[in-house]
Structure 1
């Protein structure tokens, strides 16, 4: 289900003066859904507590003309684990989806996926982190209890059943979900897949309804890798691909062109 729970987001922001700080603070503190803002000019870091998606907060910061990159996310009380899936495939669909274990019984899923047809698309955690045959080798939905497919709010469902995300007219799905069955420590090394069609949540009459929601072909996928919590990441978006903060900012969200190694800037 959609979430209005607040989390903390740590950004690297290119700031050089008090004017930069004031501009960023004004953009963030005036936005609905932002609870608090802390800015460290010397470290060029901004810490935001918000109920917005990470992409929405990023856009607010960059509306001031300063470049920014998400470095980490978490909650103040404890660090139960953070993971990220860099989504890509044979087609144009790509994105970044992050998982934050907020409590023992609540996993936050924060994502942006581009290149989709407008409308709903099924989103599922699959059992295997195997991309040797693109998304076809990811296996079935993650379903350790052997249950039937269902909706995220159902007790009878696959653990990997995350329901649907909605792409707008621009092909972008921007979402922030909570799930009570998913645990970050259970899904690292598995995969996340977005499908071409709407998941019928096990309520349709098709033979595949109780298996996978009859949500069509697999458009894009990514291995779920351990990622940085708050204050753990000096330069990288995640621990999996070696891309530095500012290199990552100028590259595709996922897929071809992301891992090309350039000479780092002198200040990195």
Structure 2
């Protein structure tokens, strides 16, 4: 009900501004649309979850910040925005745990608010085979990866694979190591760099073993995917 009232009064304010010809630039959200995203209900797990967010202003670096004219001219279309504006970015520098020798650097990019996050980078020092990748609740890595807490849960309480409907927000699947450096590219639609699903300030960890996506039917599988201890971890922070 509160959400409907906010939307109603927002539309009423816009209508009043249009009819009176007055500018409401001081009102938050002026010239932008509210977007409502729905996460569907899952029986016996959760009801519908709604997220309300606002499209950001995107300015061409070669134009004035506030060009003249109508308010529609104050927002640059996303398709015409310069490629030098990548949206939000974050980075994690992976440090080895207990002398594992595993290191790496990954960059997270989110072009559109609440849109998919692309994770790219490389990891070195992994033994051949599959290794789990997870975002953990805490960013307290200190001198090892033992204090980073459980997987970042947010909405869901059961572990799963990156394409499962029921999963932790931090469940990012497996990476496969052969020899040398592992180049990584993961695109995930559940993690975010802002809002309630933001992973910034939390930690990313690489595990010793393969993530079974909670398929084994054991308690450990339902919590961690039986992927073993973290062998490298780092705190996720905004990039510039």
**Which of the five TM-score ranges fits, normalised by the shorter chain?**
0.5 to 0.7
CA separation in 1, counterparts of 2:221 and 2:143? 24
Match of 2:106? 97
Residue 107 (structure 1) aligned with residue 114 (structure 2): no
Measure how far apart 1:134 and its partner are.
1.1
- Which residue of the other structure, out of 83, 88, 93, is the alignment partner of 1:86? 93
CA separation in 2, counterparts of 1:79 and 1:214? 36
Tell me if structure 1 keeps the 8 A contact 2:86–2:109.
no
- Which residue of the other structure, out of 134, 156, 177, is the alignment partner of 2:186? 177
Match of 1:204? 216
Corresponding residue pairs, total? 153
SS at 1:123's partner residue?
Answer: strand
Aligned in 2, Cα 1:77/1:152: closer, same or farther, shift over 3 Å? farther
Residue 221 (structure 1) aligned with residue 237 (structure 2): no
Higher strand share goes to which structure? 1
Measure how far apart 1:147 and its partner are.
2.0
CA separation in 2, counterparts of 1:85 and 1:77? 21
SS at 2:147's partner residue?
Answer: helix
Measure how far apart 1:130 and its partner are.
0.2
SS at 1:187's partner residue?
Answer: coil
> What's the CA shift string for 1:5-26, capped at 9, x where partnerless?
xxxxxxxxxxxxxxxxxxxxxx
Residue 195 (structure 1) aligned with residue 202 (structure 2): no
CA separation in 1, counterparts of 2:83 and 2:190? 22
Measure how far apart 1:205 and its partner are.
3.3
CA separation in 1, counterparts of 2:225 and 2:182? 19
Bigger Cα displacement from structure 2, 97-106 vs 213-222 = 97-106
Runs of 4+ in 1 over 4 A off after TM superposition: none
Tell me if structure 2 keeps the 8 A contact 1:167–1:174.
no
RMSD: 1.6
Bigger Cα displacement from structure 2, 116-125 vs 205-214 = 205-214
Tell me if structure 2 keeps the 8 A contact 1:123–1:193.
yes
CA separation in 1, counterparts of 2:107 and 2:122? 9
CA separation in 1, counterparts of 2:121 and 2:168? 20
SS at 2:120's partner residue?
Answer: strand
Aligned counterparts, 1:7-26, within 5 A: none
Match of 1:139? 149
Measure how far apart 1:204 and its partner are.
1.6
- Which residue of the other structure, out of 115, 118, 142, is the alignment partner of 2:128? 118
* Unaligned residue ranges in structure 1 (runs of 5+): 1-74, 229-268
> What's the CA shift string for 1:109-153, capped at 9, x where partnerless?
102110010111000001111012510111111111142000101
Match of 1:167? 177
> What's the CA shift string for 1:59-102, capped at 9, x where partnerless?
xxxxxxxxxxxxxxxx8395431000000123200000111013
Higher RCO structure, 1 or 2 (CA under 8 Å, sep 6+): 1
Match of 2:61? none
